[in-house]
Structure 1
Amino acid sequence: MTSSDATLQALERFILDGIPLARAMQVSIAGFDGVHLAMTAPLAPNINDKGCAFGGSLASLMTLAGWALVESMLRERGHDCDLFVADSTVRYLAPVWGDLRAEARLAPGGDWSPFFATLDARGRARVDVTCVLPGDDGRPAASLEARFVAKRRA
C-alpha cells in the first residue's frame, strides 16, 4: 500500500500549518511506501553553534516522522484520530553535518493489525515506532524509539 502524492502533500500541509516548529525547520515528507516514511529538513535552519545539526532538531524531525507514519496509516484506513507521542527515547550517535533525513517504520516485531483491531474495539490504541537518521557513513547518526497513542475523535 502506498500513499498518493496528493495524500502526502495534504499531510505535509497539515503538519506545516499546524506545527510552527515544523515550519521553522522546513520539514518535508520525502516519501511513504506503506512500510516506512521518510522526512527531510535542510541543515541551515537546524544548525547549532558548531556548524552541525542541533540535537533538538534531530529529535524533533524523528518524532515528526514517526508521528507522520502513524498518521498516514490512520488516514489511509479512514480513521479520524488525535495522535500523541506517549514516550520516546533518543540516542545521539554522531554529528550530522548535512541535510537531515529521518526514516520511520513500525518497531521490529510490530504489526499494524493489532493496533487497528484495538482502535476499532476500544477507540484507542498504541503502537511502537522506530526512526533512524542515517549518517554520512550509512550508520545511524541518531535513533528514536517511540510509542504513539491514537484516540478516535468521534
Structure 2
Amino acid sequence: MSLFASSWQQRLHEGFPLLAAMQVAVLGDEHAWHLSAPFEPNRNDHATAFGGSISTLATIAGWMAVNVAAGEGADVVIQSGSTDFVLPIATDFTAHVLPPSADELAAFARMYTRRGKGRLAVSVEVKTASNQLAATFHGVYVAVRLPV
C-alpha cells in the first residue's frame, strides 16, 4: 500500500467511523487512486449493495478529490450531491473520480488562492468488481482555507 493510500485510509477511518464500518479502502497513489468497499458489510436485505453505502462511497471519493486538489490546510464540505443508480451491485464495488477539466481546476485554484475558498464540481463512477458501471454521482464541494 502506498504512503498516500495508507495515510488517507487512516484519515478516513478515524474521521468518519462509518467508513471504518464499511471497510472502505484507498487503493493506488497520489497520481491514480480510487476507493473500494467490500460487498458483505455493505449489503442490504435484497442481497445487493445498500444504496446508502454506494452513495457514501461516491460522496467521500468526491470529498477526497477536492481535498487533494486544495492541498493541506483546507476544510472541505459537500454543498450538494446526487446519485443515480444504474444497476444493482452484488459484488465488491469501487468509486472512481472523473478528473475535472484543467479549466475547472484552474478556476478552483484561482478562487481558493484569492478568496480563501473555492467551489469544485466532481463526478464519480461507482463500478462493480467486473468493472460495470453501477452508479454515477455528481457533487459540488466547497473548500475553505483554515487559519494558520
1:86-105 correspondence runs (5 A): 86-105=79-98
Per the alignment, residue 6 of structure 1 pairs with: 3
Counterpart of 1:25, as a letter, is M
Q: Deviations over 1:23-61 (max 9, x none)?
A: 110001112453x53100100110000111000000000
How many angstroms does 1:96 deviate by? 0.4
The structural deviation recorded for 1:144 is: 0.1
Q: CA deviation at 1:62?
A: 0.4
TM norm structure 1 = 0.86
Tell whether the 8 Å contact from 1:66 to 1:130 is kept in structure 2 after alignment: yes
- Rounded to whole Å, the distance in 2 between the matches of 1:86 and 1:131 is 15
Please tell me whether the aligned partners of residues 29 and 37 of structure 1 are also in contact (alpha carbons under 8 angstroms): yes
Per-residue CA shift, 1:97-143, capped at 9, x if unaligned?
10011101234675311111111100000101100112466442100
Query: Once the 2 structures are TM-superposed, how far is the Cα of residue 74 of structure 1 from its aligned partner?
Result: 2.6
Amino acid at match of 2:63: W
Q: What residue number does 1:115 align with?
A: 108
- Residues 37 and 105, structure 1, Cα contact 8 Å, conserved in 2: no
Across the two proteins, how many residue pairs are aligned to each other? 147
Structure 2 stretches lacking a partner, 5+ long: none
1:40 alignment counterpart: 36
8 Å contact kept, 1:110–1:128: no
Matches within 5 A, 1:60-139: 60-75=56-71, 79-107=72-100, 111-135=104-128, 138-139=131-132
Distance 1:149 1:57 in 2: 22
Percent of residue pairs bearing the same amino acid type: 27
5+ long unaligned stretches in structure 1: none
1:26 aligned partner: 23
TM-score normalized with structure 2 length: 0.90
Could you tell which deviates more after superposition, 116-125 or 99-108? 99-108
| CA RMSD across the alignment | 2.0
Q: Work out whether 1:151 is the aligned partner of 2:148.
A: no
